Amino acid sequence: MFSLDFSPLLPYWPTFMLGAWLTLKMTCVAVFFGLILGMLVAFAKRAKLPVLTRLCIVYIEAVRNTPFLVQIFLLYFGLASIGLRMPTFAAAALAMTINIGAYAAEIIRAGLESVPRGQIEAAECLGLPKWRIGWHVMLQPSIEKVYPALTSQFLLMMQASAIASQISAEELTAVANTVQSDTFRSLETYIVVAALYLALSLVIKLIAWAVGEHLFKRRRAIRLAAKRAGKTPPDPQRIDTVIPGGAA
């Protein structure tokens, strides 16, 4: 009878840790650029240029309706075939950025649409420049509303980064593949890696919560005021446009 034996994996502990760190790094890079891309696309889709709107729709729908694995193959092998060879880490991060960009754009767009028309008109009446209306009146409140949806999307993306192992980009799953072929302890290796991914999701949830607390001062102020007045804080307005299972 086979029994689980984790001891051969002990020497590989630093390798696992490095893999987890690389996954985290890849996710952070992709989230950062993906969020910027998503914001730009969300605004571009609202622009009164039919061509631009159409382009954004094509981009969003193409990314959302094809598997991430195919996207990453297309990008990595496709670019290699026309002579543009890039490191696997860069290719994986780029594919993830493109993927996150489409999902984030759709989520942010839902937030932008929830900004009351009157607020934008009021800002226009006050003579605020266009970019300030976009940044202060539209983008910031809508990000606050869709923040939970965004973070769960990023979490899904962190998991989808496992797929980058298929172009042998160095991250946790790729590390696991190497370790299991070294030790022949495949089941144990993947159980350890599953636990590491769980821990990573907890870390990302924690980071997301801390960043949210820091960023949305208004939310904190409202809660503090409610506490001082002895009332329960009002339910924060939020929009959940979580695309179940996202990415993949």
Partner 1 sequence: MSGGFTSSHLVYLVQSIGWTLVLSALAFVLGGIGGFAVMLARISPRAWLARVALVYIEAIQGIPLLILLFIVYFGLSVYGYQVPALVAAGLALMIYSSAYLGDIWRGCIEAMPKPQWEASECLSLTRWQTLRLVIIPQAMRLALPPTVGFLVQLIKMTSLASVIGFIELTRAGQIINNSIFQPFLIFGLVGAFYFVLCYPLSRWSQSMENKLNVSNR
Measured CA distances, 22 to 16, 80, 173 (Å): 10, 23, 10
Closest to partner 1 by CB, 124 vs 186, is: 186
Q: Select from 104, 90, 94 the least CA-distant residue to 40.
A: 104
C-beta closer to partner 1: residue 133 or 192:
192
- Is residue 232 within the footprint of partner 1 (CB under 8 A)? no
Among 96, 163, 179, 208, the residue binding partner 1 under the rule CB under 8 A is 163
Smallest gap from Cβ 241 to partner 1, in A, equals: 9
Q: Which stretch binds partner 1 (CB under 8 A): 11-19, 131-139, 161-169, 228-236?
A: 161-169
Which range touches partner 1 (CB under 8 A), out of 95-103, 132-140, 157-165, 219-227? Answer: 157-165
The span from the CA of 119 to the CA of 138, in Å, is 9
Compute the distance between CA of residue 175 and CA of residue 16 in angstroms, rounded to an integer.
7
Report how far residue 7's alpha carbon sits from residue 19's, in angstroms, rounded to the nearest whole number: 19
Q: Integer distance in angstroms from the first to the last C-alpha of the chain?
A: 35
SS3 99: helix
- For 146, the 3-state DSSP assignment is helix
**Number of neighbours of residue 71 by Cβ within 10 angstroms:** 19
Closer of 134 and 142 to partner 1 (Cβ)? 142
Q: By the 8 A CB rule, do 27 and 157 touch?
A: yes
Site track 185-224 with partner 1 (rule: CB under 8 A), x = hit: -xx--xx-xx--xx--xx----------------------
Under the criterion CB under 8 A, does residue 107 sit at the interface with partner 1? no
Taking residues 2 to 41 in sequence order and writing x for each that binds partner 1 by CB under 8 A, - otherwise, the string is x---------------------------------------
What does the alpha-carbon distance between residue 69 and residue 177 come to, in Å, rounded to a whole number? Answer: 17
- Report the nearest approach of partner 1 to the CB of residue 218 (Å): 23
Say which DSSP state 126 is in: T
Q: Please give the size of the binding site for partner 1, defined by CB under 8 A.
A: 43
Query: Contact positions toward partner 1, by CB under 8 A?
Result: 2, 61-62, 64-71, 73-74, 77-78, 80-82, 159-163, 165-166, 173, 176, 180, 186-187, 190-191, 193-194, 197-198, 201-202, 243-246, 248
